[in-house]
Amino acid sequence: MAATAAPGRADPRRIYAEHMSAQPGIDRGHTDDLMSFLRASPSPYHAVASAAERLEKAGFRRVEETAPWDGAAGGRFVLRGGAIIAWYVPEGAEAATPYRIVGAHTDSPNLRVKPIPDTGAHGWRQIAVEIYGGALLNTWLDRDLGLSGRITLRDGSHHLVTVDRPLMRVPQLAVHLDRSVNTDGLKLDKQRHMTPVWGLGGVEEGDLVRFVAEETGVAAEEIAGWDLMAHSVEPPAHLGRDRELIAGPRMDNLVSVHAGTAALIAAATQQELPYIPVLAAFDHEENGSQSDTGADGPLLGTVLERSVFARGGAYEERARALAGTVCLSSDTGHAVHPNYAERHEPGHHPRPNGGPILKVNVNQRYATDGAGRAVFAAACERAGVPWQSFVSHNSMPCGTTIGPITAARHGIATVDIGIAILSMHSARELCGAQDPRLLAMALHAFLGA
């Protein structure tokens, strides 16, 4: 039998049950709240708006990057496109007080609208799309899709677009016209086969923009740019004999954004905080993080530095603060798949509801080392949550995430962690119903240490 939780640890279900009401700040409604968060966040722009709304309710206030900042105690956040950096300065924090950072990403693989979107053939109206990130393309077939994202008006203002009803569909070819599909596998050409239909009629230039204008209540001629994408309109749901699983979209990685937001809000209620807790949720992780809102951009470093300077520090205090800082980079990992167990490392089989996972790769696809393991283990111990180790099968390429980028770019000690899911990068993923809350509890214990 493969090892799962660290040796000597008790049954995670029992531990979870014991702690259901033991943790202040992260309540038992966490999982239901996660499902609302997923639903309200079909695009990265929505995800940061959802996080900002929760933070504002908890007393955090938005600061503009173009305005001067003060160093007073309290919660603040910066929004930039699909990224959010939020932090809480406790009373008595000094310029060199180190940070404790939860890192995550807001984006998920999907279908995104091309610059000239109106297309079609043979009496069908279609929308031209690009493939964003490493989507499991087959999971986007025969699914009722809505449209979301943002538009930018001529005056430079941004507006969220939310069409959360069945609007589009990428229809799969009938089996009668593709007789070998079940034996030879489905072959999809990204250019020819992934174009959604959204009605009948001829191709009309400007059709989609006019539709979006009507849906958002603005004049079509005011729309100067758009960042629009498809999402599954099927809501997240509990699944399983005992409802012990959750099926839903974008759990990679909104589970971490949601848990990190809850953990930061909970940490901000504490009296004594030796660190400045931070949530850093970036866009563009799914295609390498290289953008002004991605983890490989300067956003996090600039915010941390300005915060040091706002508290009266200079280069010396900035260096001291970052030297004492630790980042838990939270993202999803692979739970052991019952039908493909041979693809997983036989001694490391993370399972749903076994608690958060520590992700290790000695070739630095993950930033975790032994020192990081100790930080994570201590946080889980304080929270009373079980945890598991993940490492790839030596013959399988290992994925990566924002952890190594954050470590290399800012010189911050970083630990890659997350929760174990199935169907990663599917339009609808699957995870244990207890894990999101166990993750939030561990993140809270880390931020509030």
Q: Which residues bind Zn ion (CB under 5 A)?
A: 252-253, 331
The sign one gets for the Cα dihedral 343, 348, 351, 356 is negative
Minimal distance in Å, beta carbon 232 to Zn ion? 17
Cβ nearer to Zn ion, comparing 196 with 260 = 260
Minimal distance in Å, beta carbon 140 to Zn ion? 18
Angle at 297 between CA 423 and CA 224, to 5 degrees: 85
Query: How far is residue 91's CA from residue 88's CA, in Å, rounded to a whole number?
Result: 10
Residue 249 CB coordination number (10 Å): 24
Cβ nearer to Zn ion, comparing 252 with 296 = 252
Cβ nearer to Zn ion, comparing 15 with 442 = 442
Minimal distance in Å, beta carbon 416 to Zn ion? 11
Nearest to 298 by CA among 280, 311, 321, 313: 280
Minimal distance in Å, beta carbon 274 to Zn ion? 30
Minimal distance in Å, beta carbon 424 to Zn ion? 7
Minimal distance in Å, beta carbon 401 to Zn ion? 6
Minimal distance in Å, beta carbon 402 to Zn ion? 8
Half-sphere exposure of 304 (CA within 13 A, CB side): 32
β-pair partners for 120:
125
For helices 251-267 and 30-40, the axis angle rounded to 10 degrees is: 120
Cβ nearer to Zn ion, comparing 152 with 287 = 287
Query: How far is residue 383's CA from residue 321's CA, in Å, rounded to a whole number?
Result: 25
Cβ nearer to Zn ion, comparing 331 with 345 = 331
Query: How far is residue 333's CA from residue 254's CA, in Å, rounded to a whole number?
Result: 13
β-pair partners for 417:
330, 358
Cβ nearer to Zn ion, comparing 332 with 388 = 332
Minimal distance in Å, beta carbon 229 to Zn ion? 16
- Sheet hosting strand 83-89, strand order edge to edge: 61-62, 74-80, 83-89, 276-282, 99-105, 326-330, 413-418, 357-359, 388-390
Nearest to 434 by CA among 17, 105, 104, 8: 17
DSSP string spanning 174-220? PGGG-TTHHHH-----TTTS-PPEEEES---TTHHHHHHHHHHTS-G
Cβ nearer to Zn ion, comparing 253 with 406 = 253
Cβ nearer to Zn ion, comparing 195 with 400 = 400
